Amino acid sequence: MKKEDTVLAGFHAVSSRMKRDSSSIRIVYYDPKRRDQRMRRMIEEIEKAGIRLMQADNNRLDGFSHEVPHQGLIALAAPIDIGMSFDTLMDNLAGNPLLLLLDGVTDPRNFGACLRVADAAGVSAVITPKDRSATLTAAAVKASAGASETVPIVRVTNLAGSIVELVDAGVPIIGTAGEAQKTIYEFDQKGAFGWVLGAEGDGLRQLTRRRCSDLAKIPMLGTVESLNVSVAAGICLFETVRQRTVG
Ligand SMILES: C[S@@+](CC[C@H](N)C(=O)[O-])C[C@H]1O[C@@H](n2cnc3c(N)ncnc32)[C@H](O)[C@@H]1O
């Protein structure tokens, strides 16, 4: 395995990459004990695309995927760079982008799940700090269900500074925190708009909170204190989708 290889584990991750850029896949390993139709079809496609294919036992596949369920299928591929620069993002604010900013989400599964929900909600870009943020590990790629290949990620050195630039450019950036006074339903989200979600343990950093246009909470009616960050991201983003589609 090359140091720069991205590990794609499971049917969804491998077939998304096949659709996007099959030439970026260096090699595919599969478990020959899996002889079901789904695996047979996948092998046919891989062979048709001229990708190197090798058999590997379950232990070897586990070794590649590091606990991520792989369904007997692993691809090693060159990373696809769908990163976007902050300047490019700023140049394209006219199309009413919906942005998701993650302030220090470090768990790869949560990061992947946030990308998944961002893709589903039509998010234009996910903005994360260069430090204190999960990267596209096998676990993140798997949890993203293909979205790591579709959602542009903007990695910035200073998240608070980027928020200021966006707010100055007229994009409301709303931080989310359970203790906020207003709810996520009180903001007009039809124009360019961004949500900021905080880290698993600590939530939003103080400086991030101060730079946001406002703070909003998801009303919690039960006894738990907070939601998982990707669940919270889904609720916020789909409120925006609701406003933009239903009115
Ligand atoms: C697990 S929570 C972090 C909990 C953390 N102890 C705190 O004080 O924020 C992760 C992130 O999900 C979002 N979140 C979770 N529950 C929320 C709620 N009820 N209202 C608004 N945001 C919420 C926030 O962005 C939060 O930073």
**pLDDT tens profile 166-192:** 999 999 999 999 999 999 999 999 999
Domain boundaries, given as residue ranges, for the chain: 6-77, 86-245
CB 31 within 8 A of CB 57: yes
| Of the candidates 57, 33, 56, 30, the residue with the CA atom closest to the CA atom of residue 44 | 30
Residue 220 CB less than 6 A away from ligand 1: yes
- What fold, for 6-77? 60s Ribosomal Protein L30; Chain: A; (3.30.1330)
Please tell me the predicted confidence (pLDDT) of residue 69.
Answer: 85
Q: What is the DSSP letter of 217?
A: B
Pick from 140, 151, 146: which is nearest to 100 by CA? 151
Q: Would the annotation count 198 as a binding residue? A: yes
CA distance 204 to 201: 9
Collect the ranges in the chain with pLDDT lower than 50. none
Query: Of all protein residues, whose CA lies closest to atom 9 belonging to ligand 1?
Result: 203
The Å distance, Cα 159 to ligand 1 centre, comes to 18
The whole-number pLDDT of residue 153 equals: 94
Confirm or reject: Cβ of 198 under 6 Å from ligand 1.
yes
Cα–ligand 1 centroid distance for 6 (angstroms):
30
CATH 3.40.1280.10 fits 86-245, yes or no: yes
Q: Is 247 annotated as a binding residue?
A: no
SS3 at position 29: strand
Whether ipTM tops 0.90, in short, is yes
Spatial contact of 233 and 100, defined as CB atoms under 8 Å apart: yes
Residue 204 CB–ligand 1 contact under 6 Å: yes
**27 token code pair:** 């090699």
Could you give the 3-state DSSP secondary structure of residue 167? helix
Ligand 1 contacts CB of residue 229 (under 6 A): yes
The CB of 203 under 6 Å from ligand 1? The reply is yes
Q: Measure 100 CA to ligand 1 centroid, in angstroms.
A: 14
Protein residue closest via CA to atom 12 of ligand 1: 229
Measured distance CA(189)–CA(195) in Å, rounded: 10
The yes-or-no answer to whether 6-77 and 86-245 have a common fold is no
